[in-house]
Chain A
Amino acid sequence: MKKSWVILVVDDEDVMCESMAAWLREDGYQVDTASNGQKALELAKSTDYVICFIDLKMPGGMDGIETMMEIHRIRPEASVIIITAYATVDTAIQAMKEGAQEYIVKPCNPQEISMLVSRILKLKKLQSENAILRKKISRQYRHHDIITKNPRMEELLALTHDIASLRSTVLIRGESGTGKELVARAIHFSGDRAAKPFITVSCAALTETLLESELFGYEKGAFTGANAQAKGKFELADGGTILLDEIGDISPKLQADLLRVLQERRFYRVGGNAEVEVDVRIIAATNKNLADEVKQGRFREDLYYRLNVIEIRIPPLRERREDIPLLAEHFVQRISCELGKDISGVSAAALKLLIAYDWPGNVRELENVIERAIVTCRNGTLDEQDFSWLQRSPGASQNWEVPDVSLDELERKAIIAALERKHGNVKEASAALGIDRSTLYDKLKHYEITH
């Protein structure tokens, strides 16, 4: 592990160079040495040094600071530690100003060097890990990951692109499962706030007081259990974006607090008396019709207009049926890969069934349906049978009107209808009704039905 880090020691005195290198080698690092700035630069061109120890005073040509600046030009990521024989504040300040990470006075305490090196390496590891994760996340949420060929969706995506770098508040409307969070992330990760945090708060999940401290943070002693000051989501999202999901569900008091944040970008922590200022882009999402909520007096009108600067309405899946085959294909590929099953696609008949279905749970439901089908699928293609359970979904029976009769009468009619459909087969009729065969016989006797 340690071997992958290479350290460079630059000093005009050979003994210095070698003794330092020997010490670092004993600690398990790979170490190169150079006796002057020129040689150091030659080495830095071919090797990616993580740390460079550079002597401040070197005769002939380049001194330590110059060498450091040149090395930084070649290897901007390398940490430079300046070695100096005399501890003068001036040189130390100059070295740090020019970009040295640290400086040490020789001869120095062995513990100091070991700690310095391990501290810098720890930081490097975190930085590289962080860079990898960032890349992963931004790749996950780029625009083209929203799969569509629906003109309305394409228009919507173009809009999110145009507004990505603005700070204006966005209100995303859409039924649950349409991908409100995905759109919010796409806005965040394609704008200039991409490198800053993206924080999601589900407003419906928490009670008023909890949500308040969640959003604004609290001071020590603000309430029982507040043992230390805590930052709220608004502070954590500073410089980035906050997504307030289910905004239609917040209480009138929080609506007032939120209005203030939107107007002034400042707030108080719970129990605090110092104002906190933040630079946050706010995206709100809801599956309710906020205009209706305003009319009914449940949502503040002024807050509604503040939130609704840019409105994005995501169409439900049933209004963009042409996307169903694309999405299904995408989910099959992703999920079969995740579950380690070799499924090549969806059969034409099954696709027809999927397109005809109403999808009350939208894209999320489609994703779940595909996952379930993949789990139970026994051959390489998802067939009609793999989705047979979908036909009995409540979506199809939404328009069914209940006749104005007693419950007994209703049951009697249901049994007769089931028997007729199954041509008098009691076993199949009982299965369709979801009851036991003997129970059905009892009921036949009870309602005096002959079959």
Chain B
Amino acid sequence: MLAQYAPPDATRILGVTDVDLSIPMLTFLFGQANLDGPIAVVSLCRLHQEFYGLPADESLLRERTVKEVLHELGHTFGLAHCSEPKCPMSLATHIELVDGKEEQYCARCGTRLVERFTSLGGV
């Protein structure tokens, strides 16, 4: 559905929503992407501090969103989960794990991403 909103010269489109996402198999998701495909989505619902009964924190929300966007976009460029917990590509199944990530890909994932960009003809 997202695909139709994409401008014609775009190679990837990422949707951001406030709705809590789930897939039939799982109770919730922070986001989902086509592995090596054009579409990704990130839900802010569980990134809000309020979701956990804590006072709102704008800057923390922004940080978490950046990390999850990096994560899902990484998937659209063919990256799988990373075993380095600080890398945005690591698997986060609860919010503390998201907060443990940094806003920059680890060396291995970064290199792979560059390789992908180059093979795609430089995006």
Interface residues of A (CB under 8 A from B): 2, 13, 15-16, 19-20, 22-23, 25-28, 83, 106-111, 113-114
Contacts and interface: CB of A to CB of B under 8 A. Distances in A.
Given A26-B35, A26-B75, A108 B25 contact: yes
B82 to A, nearest CB: 9
Contacts of A23: 23, 25-26
Contact of A19 (B25, B34, B80): B25
B81 interface: yes
Contacts of A15: 23-24
A8 to B, nearest CB: 15
A27 B74 CA distance: 12
B67 to A, nearest CB: 15
B93 interface: yes
Interface in B30-48: 32-35
Nearest to B94: A111
Interface of B: 22-29, 32-35, 75, 80-81, 91, 93-94
B91 to A, nearest CB: 6
Given A25-B35, A110-B93, A2 B25 contact: no
B80 A26 contact: yes
A22 B24 contact: no
A107 B93 CA distance: 14
A23 B29 CA distance: 10
Given A22-B23, A106-B24, A107-B25, 17 more contacts: A2-B80, A13-B24, A15-B23, A16-B24, A22-B35, A25-B35, A26-B75, A26-B91, A27-B81, A108-B25, A108-B27, A109-B26, A109-B27, A109-B93, A110-B27, A110-B29, A113-B26
A79 B28 CA distance: 25
A26 B33 contact: yes
A97 B23 CA distance: 30
